[in-house]
Structure 1
Amino acid sequence: MRSLAPLVCCLLVLVATTPYVATGQATSAATTASGHAEPSIHAVYPDPVTGGDEGEFVVLDIPDGTEIGQYAITDGDGTAGIPNTTARGRVALSTAPNQTRGLTDWPVVGLDGHLALANGGERVRLQRGNQTVDAVRYTDAVEGELGEVNGSVIHWRPLGATDRPVVRAAGDEVRAFALPDAPAAPVRPIRNATERVYLAGYTLSSARVADALIAAQRRGATVRVLLEGDPVGSRTAAEARTLDRLSDAGVSVRVMTGPRARYRYHHAKYAVADGRAVVLTENWKPAGTGGNSSRGWGVVTAQSRVVDGLNRTFQSDAGWADSEPWQEYRQGRQFERGEPATGSYPSEFQTEPVAVQRTDLLVTPENAQGELVETIDDANDSIDVIQPTVGNWESPLLRALRRAAARGVEVRLLLSDAWYVREENEQTAQRFREWADRNDAPLTAKVADPDGRYEKIHAKGAVVDDERVVVGSLNWNEQAASENREVVLVLHGSDAADYFAAVFATDWDAGGFDTPVGVLVALLGLIVVAGLAARRVSFEA
C-alpha cells in the first residue's frame, strides 16, 4: 500500500511539436520469370543538403550474388544504367558517386547516364530491359531526409538516422541512485575506467566530470565525448572552457550540429566506462551530476547487452557526418555567461544495489515511445510519474496515462516547481485533476515542493505497479519522443521499484496541492450536512 544551460533552455527543449511525415507509394515485381528474386528499391534520397542536390541516390536491396549490370534506373525523363558487377545487400546508386560516398555508409555504385530526382516528387522505376521490376512514387521530398519504402508507403527520416532495436538484458544486480543525494555515483565508473569511456550528453560543464575524463585518458583509456552542438539558450562560457580543457588534454570531443543533423537535439545522458554503463536523467554539469540543484534518477549497470547496446548507439551517433570536432565548431563563436549552481542538499538516499529481473534499453526516435505506451497500457494497479513538465494533452504518453486511470489504475503525476515552468505545470496539474473528477478516475497531479531537499525536479521517470521503473533522458512530449536522441532504461523487478518508489513518495509527500476536486466537493458536502444536522439538534433541544 503506497503512502498518500540556462533555465529557459530546459523549458524550450521540453516544448512539443508534431513531426513531419510524408508518404508515397511503392510497387514491386518480386521475381524474374525463372522464379529468382529480383533487386528492389529500398529508399530514395532526392534532396541532399548540397548545392544542386549533388550526391542524390537510390538504394537497392539486392539478393546475394545478383549481376546488376542488366538493370537501369529511370524517372521517365532520364535513364541511368548500372555497371556490370555482382552485388548483394543494400547498395546506393548515384550519378555522382564521389559526393554520395560522403553521405552514406552503404557501398556506392556509379550510374552511367543522366538521372535527376525531382524534389517535388516523381515515379522512380527499376528496369530490366523493357520490364519494370520495381517502382516507387514519392511526393514532397524533405531536404536531407531519406525516403524509405515501407510496404506501400514511404517514410522520410534524416539521412544517417539509426534503426536501433529494443535491447533486453537478463536479470542482474544494478546500482540505483538519486541526485542531488549521491553525486559520486555517476562519476565513479569513469574514475575506475582503464580501457574506454564514451560519454554522451546534452551539455558538459562539470569540472569533476572533466577531471575524471582527463585522468582516464592519462591512464591510457580511449576517452570520447559527444554532446549537443546547439543547446537551446546557447552554450555557456563555463562549458566552453571545460570542453577546451578536455580537447587540450587529448580527449575526443564532438558535437552534433549542422544542416545534416539527424536529430533535433542530442539529449541522451549516459556513459560507457569499460564494462559498466551509467544511464541517468541529469546533465553532466554541477546542477545535475554535481548534486548542486536538481532531483534526478540514475542507474549503473554491468549488464553486457545494455553496455554493448549503448556502445553501438554511441558509435553510430559519434561517427557520422553531423558529428563535428569541438575545436572546429567553436571557431568564431561567442558563449553566454551562465549562473553557476552552488546549492547544498542532504543525502537522504544513498546508492543501493538492487536486483532486476530484466532491463530494457530503449532509444528515441526508434522505439522508446511505443514501448513506454505499452508499459503504461499493461499497468494494473499504480503508476507514479515524475517529470520536469509534460507535453501536449493529446500526446501518446499522456493519453496512455488517462487510459490507465480510466480503467482504475491509480495514477500520480509530479511536476517541477521551477520558476520557468511553474505556471504551466500548475495549469497542467489542474487540468488532470478536473479530468479525473469528471471521469471519476483515480488520477491526481501536482507541482512539487522541494522542501529544501533539492532545488527543482529534472528527473524523468516512472514506477509502474511497484515492479517496473522507467529512468532516462526522455521528457514526456512528442518532440522528444519522435525527433530527439534519447536513452531510457526500463528496470523490471520489485527491488528497483522499491528504491525509486521511496524517492518518489518522499518528493510527493513533501507538499503541494494534490487533493482531487471531487474529494473536496464531497468533503464540503459532508461539512454542510453536518452543520445542518447540528442546527436541527440544537433547535429541537
Structure 2
Amino acid sequence: MLARIAAGCLALALLTGAFVPSAATTATAADSIEPTNATLVAAYPNPVARGDPGEFVAVQFAAATNTSGWTLTDGKTATRLPNRTFEGTVAFSMEPEYARTDTDYPVEPLSGRLLLADDGDRLTLRAGGETVSTARYRNAPESEIRDFDANEWRPIGATDHEPTRTDGGSATAFVLPDAPDRTVGTVRNATDRIHLAGYTFTSARLADVLVDRANDGVDVRVLLDGAPVGGVSERQARQLDRLVDGGVDVRLLAGPNRRYQHHHPKYVVVDDRALVSTENFKPAGTGGMSSRGWSVVLDDRAAADALATIHESDWTWRAATPWHEYRSGRDFVDADPALVGFEPRHEPERIDVESTTVLVAPDNAAAELVSIVDAADERVLVQQVRIDSRENDLLRATLRAADRGARVRIHLGDSWYVEGDNAELAGWLNRRAEAEGWDLEARVDDADGYEKIHTKGVIADDTAVVGSLNWVRSAQSDNREVIVALEGDEAAAYYATVFTSDWRGRTKRPVPAGLFAASAVAISGALLVVRRMRFVGEAEVITDWQW
C-alpha cells in the first residue's frame, strides 16, 4: 500500500512540475534546463494495432541538451525523459520496439506513464518546473502523425519525393479514344522492366502482353488500388488471376496501413521509357472505348527512373498486399464493360520536349501545378472532369491568370454525376469573367468523338500537363497521383489542338449567367436519385470518374 501511495505522489509531482530531481538523483540536472533548445514537433497518438502500441512524441533539440529531470505530460499522465544528452529530432515512446517501425527518427524509451488520447491532448514538455514547449492536437486519425510545425496530419510512411526535372527529349503524344493500340504497343517492346501503377486494371489485351513479357524474363510488376470506388470488379479479379498465373507480380494497396486514401496514378515504366496517362488500364480507358484522355510516352531515362523510384516506394510499403493474399475470402462486384468504338480524329505525334518535370501527389504535385499556372501570361486551357470548389487552389491560380490578361478556357465534363455541379460552376465563372472583363470562358462538354471527358489536362502557355490529378481536394492532398509537365511548343500545340476540337464539340455554347439554375432544375430528378445512391469507397467519396 505504501508503495502505491508513493507512486501516486510521484505521478502527481510529475504532472504539476513540482518534482525536481535532487543532485543525488541525477548529478547533471542543474545543467540540463535549456528551455530554448527543445520543441515538440510531432505526435503519433493512434497506431493501427489494438491498444495503440507504439505511440510516440517527437522532440527537436536545436543543440546538445541534457534531459535529466525533464518530463512530458498530457495533463493526465506523465513520464520522464531519459537522463541523457540529445541533439536533433528524437521520438520518445513507452513502447519503443513498436514505435521504431513507424518512424525514421531515433526512438528512446520513456519511464512512467503516458497515454495519448485519440480524441485529443495538450502536451507539455518541462525541464524541472519550467515549461519548455507545448503542443496540442485533436481527433487523431488512425495511423497518422500530427506535424505540429505544419499544423497537419500526415500518414505513417508518407513519402517526400522532390519534383524531378529532366532535359526532356523525344516523346510520343497521343490521346484516347483515338489511339487504342498505343499503350499495348509501348509495353509489348519491353526487354527489361515493366512497372505499372494504376487505379484499376481490366484490360485483357494488356494482360496478354504483360504475361508474354513475364514469360520472356522481363520484370513485370502491377501495383493497384485495393479499395477503388465501387469495389474491385469480377472482371478485374479475372485479369489479375491471369496475370499472377502467368508469372506477373501483382500487389494491391489495401488495409489499415494504407498511407493514402487511394492509389490513383496511371503510368508504366517500360525499360528506359515511361508512359503517363489520364486513363485507367481498362477498355473504356487505355482501350479507347469511351473516354477522352491525354497520354504521353517519354523517351527519357531520367523520367523513367524517377517514376521507378516512386513505384518502388509504394511497392515496398507494408500495405502493398500480394494478389493471392488480397483475394482470399473476398467477393467482387459486377461491372458493365465498355463496348463503344470511335473513329480516330487525332493521330499520335512524335514531338520534342524541352524539359519534363515528374510530379507526385500528395508530395508536391498540387503546389507545383499552381506555380505553373501562376507563371502563365498568355493562355491557360483546362480540361477536367470536375472542379470541386470555387476555392480550389488550382482554380484560384487559373483566375489569377485571367486577371493578368491570359486567355482562359475551362472545359468540364458532362457525366451524369458531375453535370449539375459543373453547370453551376461554369455559370458562376462566366458571370465573374463578365464582371471583371476577363478573357475567360467556361463550358460543360458536349461530347463529339468520345463518350465523356476523363482528362485531367492543363496547358499553361507552352507547358502541357498530363496525368492523373483531378482538380478536387482529395486528389491533391489524400491520394497518390502522378503528373508530368511537358515544356515546349510541340507538346503544348498537340494537346491544344485536341482541346480546341473538343471545346467546339457539336453544339457547344458558353453557359450564360443564370442558365445554370435552369440546368439544375432540369436534372434535379437525377440528382435526387444520386443522393440516394451509396458509393462504396474511402469515406464514400467519388475519387475517380469512370468505372
Q: Normalising TM by the smaller chain, what interval?
A: 0.7 to 0.9
2:505 corresponds to which residue?
Answer: 510
Answer whether contact 1:446 1:512 (CA < 8 A) is retained. Answer: no
Question: Do the aligned residues in 1 keep the contact of 2:379 with 2:406 (CA within 8 Å)?
Answer: yes
Partner of 2:275: 278
1:74 to 63, 72, 78: 72
Deviates further, 175-184 or 92-101: 92-101
Partners of 2:70 and 2:209 in 1: CA distance: 55
State the secondary structure of the residue aligned to 1:98.
Answer: helix
Q: How many residues align?
A: 482
**8 A Cα contact 2:444 2:511, kept in partner:** no
Tell me the residue number matched to 1:241: 238
**Map 1:14-413 → 2, pairs under 5 A:** 41-60=40-59, 74-75=72-73, 77-82=77-82, 92-104=91-103, 106=105, 108-124=107-123, 136-150=135-149, 154-413=151-410
Whole-angstrom CA distance in 1 between matches of 2:312 and 2:70: 35
* Residue identity opposite 2:191 in structure 1: T
SS of the counterpart of 2:182?
coil
What SS is found at the alignment partner of 2:396? helix
Flag the 1:130–1:222 CA change in 2: closer, same or farther, 3 A.
farther
Q: Distance in 2 between matches of 1:46 and 1:190?
A: 44
Q: CA deviation at 1:381?
A: 1.7
Structure 1 residue 257: deviation in Å? 2.3
With over 3 angstroms needed to count, the CA separation of the structure-2 counterparts of 1:509 and 1:248, relative to structure 1, is same
After superposition, the Cα gap between the structure-2 partners of 1:71 and 1:473, relative to the gap in structure 1 and judged at 3 Å, is farther
AA at the equivalent of 1:509: R
Whether 2:473 is the aligned partner of 1:462: answer no
- Alpha-carbon displacement from aligned partner over 1:257-311 (angstroms, at most 9, x marks no partner): 2233222211111111221111110001111111111111011113333222222
Which residue in the other structure is 2:486 paired with? 491
Over the matched positions of the two proteins, sequence identity in percent amounts to 44
Q: CA deviation at 1:102?
A: 4.0
Give the root-mean-square deviation of aligned CA atoms. 3.1
For the residues of structure 2 that align with 1:510 and 1:178, how far apart are their CA atoms?
16
1:126 is displaced (CA, Å) by: 5.8
State the one-letter code of the partner of 2:326.
Answer: Y
Deviation at 1:114, TM superposition (A): 3.3
Give, in whole Å, the separation in 2 of the partners of 1:516 and 1:408.
21
For residues 110 and 90 of structure 2, what CA distance do their matches in structure 1 show?
12
User: Could you give the per-residue CA deviations for residues 326-365 of structure 1, whole angstroms, max 9, x where no partner exists?
Assistant: 2222222221211111222222322222112221222222
- C-alpha distance in structure 2 between counterparts of 1:188 and 1:73, whole Å: 63
Separation of aligned partners in 1, 2:51 and 2:365: 37
For the Cα contact (< 8 Å) 1:447–1:512, is it kept in 2?
no
What's the counterpart of residue 26 of structure 1?
none
Task: Note closer, same or farther for the CA distance 1:126–1:275 as it changes in structure 2 (3 Å cut).
Answer: farther
The one-letter code sitting in structure 1 at the alignment partner of 2:56 is: F
What is the CA deviation profile of residues 1-20 of structure 1, one whole-angstrom value per residue up to 9, with x for unaligned ones? Answer: xxxxxxxxxxxxxxxxxxxx
Q: Which runs of 5+ in 2 are unaligned?
A: 1-30, 516-547
SS at match of 2:399: helix
* 1:207 Cα offset (Å): 1.0
CA distance in 2, matches of 1:82, 1:183: 63
On the 8 A contact 1:96/1:110 being kept in 2, the answer is yes
More RCO (CA 8 Å, sep 6+): 1
The answer to whether the 8 Å contact 1:60/1:92 transfers is yes
TM-score (norm 2): 0.80
Larger displacement relative to structure 2 (221-230 or 321-330) = 321-330
Aligned partner of 1:480 among 471, 475, 481: 475
Distance in 2 separating the partners of 1:79 and 1:171: 55
Q: Which amino acid aligns with 1:328?
A: E
Measured at CA, do residues 115 and 326 of structure 1 come closer, stay the same or move farther in structure 2, by a change above 3 Å? same
Contact 2:32 2:68 survives alignment (8 Å): no
Tell me the amino acid that sits aligned with residue 358 of structure 2: L
| 1:73/1:124 contact within 8 Å kept | no
Contact 1:429-1:446 within 8 A present in 2 as well? yes
Does residue 450 in structure 1 map to residue 423 in structure 2? no
Quickly say closer, same or farther: Cα 1:311–1:68, change in 2 above 3 A: farther
